[in-house]
Structure 1
Amino acid sequence: MTAPYAGGCLCGQVRWRATAEPANVRVCHCRNCQRAVGGPFFARAMFLANDVEREGETLSWPTSERVDRFACARCGTPIFAGPKDPPARLAVSLATLDDPGAIAPEMHIWVSEKLGWLCIDDGLPQHAEGPR
């Protein structure tokens, strides 16, 4: 499948639409992502911010010096992560896609912080930290 991509939160109050292909698609295993999404990893597609249209009320908070997170103000679904360093980008949770198979990850990052009980056997490249 190709752009546009669309998705939303559990209750449907927040909707998003990406009008271009993602810059990258990664599964992040860092502790910040684990805690922010309440799961073992954050599978996300990174888009240029201008390529993502958003509607609905979100709550935002910083989870590090570099990243702000956004969740639905009504149901709490974690949807976006916004890196603060240029260029302006927006990471969108792959789990929020209307068609969850529309975008597939291309690599795993921060596997040095992967939960011990999680087995990665999908054949994708794995990086101890971010890719160089």
Structure 2
Amino acid sequence: MSPTDSPLHSGGCLCGAVRFCVSGEPTGGNHCHCGMCRKDSGSGVSTFVTFPANAVTWDRNPTDYESSPGKYRGFCPKCGSSLTWRSVEDANTIDLRLGSFDDPTPFKAQKHLWISTALSGFSKIDPDIDHFDQGS
């Protein structure tokens, strides 16, 4: 498949000041239940789609916040929409928030992260998705 045949996925923030385009298919996806993702999203769980970092092009880069050493969350500097999560340990990938895509329907999460910190309302987690606890 040539680069021009690669699927293109677009998205951006709530106000439209930050837009992105992604070529190709995701390499993963997850539902994260950690407290930092809950705070960052204002939601009970955060869903991300993982792509190679070099597959993403931005019309304006999001602003980064180092939420813990070597871990960065990107957001729109105008409206504050949370858009990304990335780690310096794996600089070759970037996680984009599912809700930031113009059409999120092609994507499916393949795992749950930080199940031990999941809110009680998420106790019946989809058994068809892998569960990983990255800490206790």
Task: State the TM bucket, normalised to the shorter chain.
Answer: 0.7 to 0.9
Larger radius of gyration: 2
Mapped partners of 1:103, 1:15: distance in 2: 18
Per-residue CA deviation, residues 45-91 of structure 1 (Å, 9 max, x unaligned), is 11111011112252211011131011111111000112111342211
Q: By how many angstroms is 1:3 displaced?
A: 2.4
For residue 125 of structure 1, what is the aligned residue in structure 2? 130
Mapped partners of 1:53, 1:23: distance in 2: 17
Mapped partners of 1:92, 1:105: distance in 2: 12
Per-residue CA deviation, residues 15-37 of structure 1 (Å, 9 max, x unaligned), is 11111211111111111211122
Q: By how many angstroms is 1:117 displaced?
A: 2.4
Task: From the superposition, tell whether residues 87 and 69 of structure 1 become closer, same or farther in structure 2 (CA, over 3 Å).
Answer: closer
Alignment of 1:84 onto 2:102: no
Question: Is the deviation greater in 50-59 or in 64-73?
Answer: 50-59
For residue 3 of structure 2, what is the aligned residue in structure 1? none
Mapped partners of 1:30, 1:121: distance in 2: 15
Residue identity (%): 26
Per-residue CA deviation, residues 86-128 of structure 1 (Å, 9 max, x unaligned), is 3422110000111121211111111111112234443322222
- Structure 2: state its 5+ residue gaps: 1-5
For residue 39 of structure 2, what is the aligned residue in structure 1? 35
TM-score of the superposed pair, with normalisation by structure 2: 0.85
Question: Is the deviation greater in 20-29 or in 53-62?
Answer: 53-62
Question: Is the deviation greater in 33-42 or in 116-125?
Answer: 116-125
Question: Is the deviation greater in 30-39 or in 112-121?
Answer: 112-121
For residue 74 of structure 2, what is the aligned residue in structure 1? 70
Counterpart mapping for 1:1-132 below 5 A: 3-123=7-127, 124-129=129-134
**What is the root-mean-square deviation of aligned Cα atoms in Å?**
1.8
Quick check: which one's helix share is greater?
A: 2
